[in-house]
Amino acid sequence: MSAQNTQGLEISNLMKRLGDNAVVKGISLTARRGELVCLLGPSGCGKTTTLRMIGGFLSPDSGSISLGGLDITELPPERRPTAMVFQNYALWPHMTVYKNVAFGLRLRRLPKTEINDRVDAVLKMVNLVHAKDRHPGALSGGEQQRVALARALVLEPQLLLLDEPLSNLDAKLRVEVREEIREIQQRLAITTVFVTHDQDEALSISDRIAVMSGGRIEQYSDPDSLYRRPESRFVAGFVGSMNILSGRIVAGGITLGPDGVFIPCDDAVLANYGGDGGEWEVAFRLEDVDVQSAGGLTSLPHRGSVARQVSHGHFKEVLVEVGEHTSIRAYLGPDVDLSGPVVVSVRRLLLYRDGALCYESHPASGRGQPTGGESLPGGAGLTSSSPSGSLR
Ligand SMILES: Nc1ncnc2c1ncn2[C@@H]1O[C@H](COP(=O)(O)OP(=O)(O)OP(=O)(O)O)[C@@H](O)[C@H]1O
Ligand SMILES: [Mg+2]
């Protein structure tokens, strides 16, 4: 174990079967002290199961968990320096907010004055002083959520475990509370594992994100790397909005979809990937697509038309039909009006084969690069799971 990680969380090759299901299939992950790590993944991928093992509520079949350099794999929850916030709050309805928050400290038989001071401080921290004497039934959803958070924070855990803690809040409150959690977590430097299936939430509050699928971690990266450089086809499709189409590399760009529509891409190195003539899964972000009025250039082969647009206020998302069976999504400014023919080009793209990232382009520097030491392709076609060429 590295010196850097001895103060944090280190999970090694955790496995768990539940009934007939291999639910967690070898999870390894480290979190530095004070780091907030998200477990992000679709429903059923094993996030809660992993979190419950970290909290001691479920015993792993194999693997180990250590915190601050100490192996806690065999410790029961109450003997771990952890606190867990459950998705459904689990507040005691017959107790006031104050008593709910004080409960854990009273179990620890702390002196009354210390309990008072700590509860007051934490209620102030989560902005709930006004609701101190109310019962949970007289609180809004967001306030109840903050009580659950206060109840965990007041224990001053070494490790905070949060299972979808915002899932029952409306969109605005969700953003407010997640920023509050992040602020408190950073101020107190509490190592935190935060479970969510909401990628926006994960991207906005995490130091690092572990994207999970089928009981495994697909990628563990900081939010920017995860977004810009998804290492697998799964992550490319799961994190952020992405155009993913089957395509071939030709001089000056790509041909996409069943129509073989030519789309220019200004990347000198990309052309080397056309050598085998084989198909790739070509992925590019909506913000990496340029859509412009075709003007007098209507004879260009890659002209298309804007078939649909959805306003998001400060920008709009458009669907551009570039071929009979091929469409591309892109972002436009709120006032850009493209009613006539348009031309489309792509600034930056990623190439996947057999589910793995093989190439990312860096057109700004005029240089792309193969990923993972991969040599130029040898002609293998795409697997049967490749997209049909229409937008997902
Ligand atoms: N007691 C059990 N017996 C058998 N299978 C189980 C049991 N508990 C959970 N599972 C299965 O394990 C898988 C992972 O469950 P888990 O609760 O960890 O998923 P999750 O990633 O938290 O999903 P969600 O986002 O829906 O909360 C699911 O397919 C679930 O059906
Ligand atoms: Mg869950």
Angle at 384 between CA 383 and CA 388, to 5 degrees: 110
Does ligand 1 have an atom closer than 6 angstroms to the CB of 93?
no
Residues 26 and 16: their CA atoms lie apart, in Å, by 8
Q: Which atom of ligand 1 is nearest to the CA of 51?
A: 18
Does ligand 1 have an atom closer than 6 angstroms to the CB of 46?
yes
- pLDDT, position 169: 75
For the chain, the straight-line distance linking the first and the last C-alpha, in angstroms and rounded, comes to: 42
Residue 373 clears pLDDT 70, i.e. is over it: no
Residues 50 and 235: their CA atoms lie apart, in Å, by 19
Give the type of residue at 314. Answer: H
Helix, coil or strand: residue 59? coil
Better pLDDT: 384 or 233: 233
Q: Give, for ligand 1, the residue of 45, 59, 238 to mutate: max count of ligand atoms closer than 8 Å to Cβ.
A: 45
The mean pLDDT of 308-330, rounded to a whole number, is 91
- pLDDT, position 294: 82
Pick the CATH number of 3-233 from 3.10.28.10, 3.40.1260.20, 3.40.50.300, 3.20.20.150: 3.40.50.300
Q: Which tokens sit at 369?
A: 């690069």
Does ligand 1 have an atom closer than 6 angstroms to the CB of 20?
no
Residues 153 and 83: their CA atoms lie apart, in Å, by 8
Does ligand 1 have an atom closer than 6 angstroms to the CB of 19?
yes
- Listed in order, strand segments (DSSP E) in 106-190 are 159-163
Measuring from atom 16 of ligand 1, which residue has the nearest CA?
46
Most confident of 141-145, 193-197, 298-302: 193-197
Residues 76 and 306: their CA atoms lie apart, in Å, by 59
CA distances from 71 to 11, 47, 153, 216 (A): 10, 21, 23, 22
pLDDT digits (tens, 9 = 90+) for 66-100: 999 999 999 999 889 999 998 778 899 999 999 99
pLDDT digits (tens, 9 = 90+) for 209-268: 999 999 999 999 999 999 999 999 999 999 999 999 999 988 888 899 888 888 888 777
* Strand partners for 84: 161
- pLDDT, position 267: 78
Per-domain residue ranges for the chain? Answer: 3-233, 242-370
Which distant-in-sequence residues (6+ apart) come within 8 Å of 141 by Cβ? 168, 169, 170, 173
At 376, the pLDDT band (50, 70, 90 cuts) reads very low
Better pLDDT: 375 or 133: 133
> How far away, in angstroms, is 10 Cα from ligand 2 center?
21
> How far away, in angstroms, is 92 Cα from ligand 1 center?
26
Does ligand 1 have an atom closer than 6 angstroms to the CB of 45?
yes
pTM attached to this predicted model: 0.85
**Between the CA atoms of 83, 89, 94 and 98, what dihedral angle is there, to the nearest 10 degrees?**
50
Residues 368 and 350: their CA atoms lie apart, in Å, by 10
Residues 3 and 355: their CA atoms lie apart, in Å, by 35
Does ligand 1 have an atom closer than 6 angstroms to the CB of 221?
no
Comparing CA positions, the residue from 259, 262, 217 lying closest to residue 238 is 217
Measuring from atom 25 of ligand 1, which residue has the nearest CA?
43
pLDDT digits (tens, 9 = 90+) for 272-288: 776 677 889 999 999 99
Residues 31 and 10: their CA atoms lie apart, in Å, by 7
Q: Give, for ligand 1, the residue of 23, 87, 238 to mutate: max count of ligand atoms closer than 8 Å to Cβ.
A: 23
Q: Which tokens sit at 304?
A: 């298309």
Identify the H or E element spanning 149.
helix 141-153
Which distant-in-sequence residues (6+ apart) come within 8 Å of 95 by Cβ? 103, 135, 136
Measuring from atom 10 of ligand 1, which residue has the nearest CA?
18
- pLDDT, position 4: 45
User: Is the CB of residue 232 less than 8 Å from the CB of residue 357?
Assistant: yes
Q: Which atom of ligand 1 is nearest to the CA of 46?
A: 18
> How far away, in angstroms, is 369 Cα from ligand 1 center?
39
> How far away, in angstroms, is 164 Cα from ligand 2 center?
7
Pick the CATH number of 242-370 from 3.40.390.10, 2.40.50.140, 3.30.70.270, 3.10.180.10: 2.40.50.140
Comparing CA positions, the residue from 234, 239, 198, 237 lying closest to residue 222 is 239
- pLDDT, position 108: 86
Average pLDDT, the chain: 86
Give the type of residue at 225. Answer: S
Q: Which atom of ligand 1 is nearest to the CA of 20?
A: 4
Residue 384 clears pLDDT 80, i.e. is over it: no
> How far away, in angstroms, is 263 Cα from ligand 1 center?
42
For the chain, state the CA radius of gyration.
25
Q: Give, for ligand 1, the residue of 17, 47, 213 to mutate: max count of ligand atoms closer than 8 Å to Cβ.
A: 47
Helix, coil or strand: residue 322? strand
Residue 26 clears pLDDT 50, i.e. is over it: yes
Does ligand 1 have an atom closer than 6 angstroms to the CB of 243?
no
- pLDDT, position 382: 25
pLDDT digits (tens, 9 = 90+) for 123-160: 998 889 999 999 999 998 888 988 998 999 898 899 99
Concatenated DSSP letters for 235-294?
A: HHHHSS-EEEEEEEEETTEEEETTTTEEEEB--TGGGGGGTT---EEEEEEGGGEEEEE-
- pLDDT, position 368: 60
Give the type of residue at 209. Answer: I
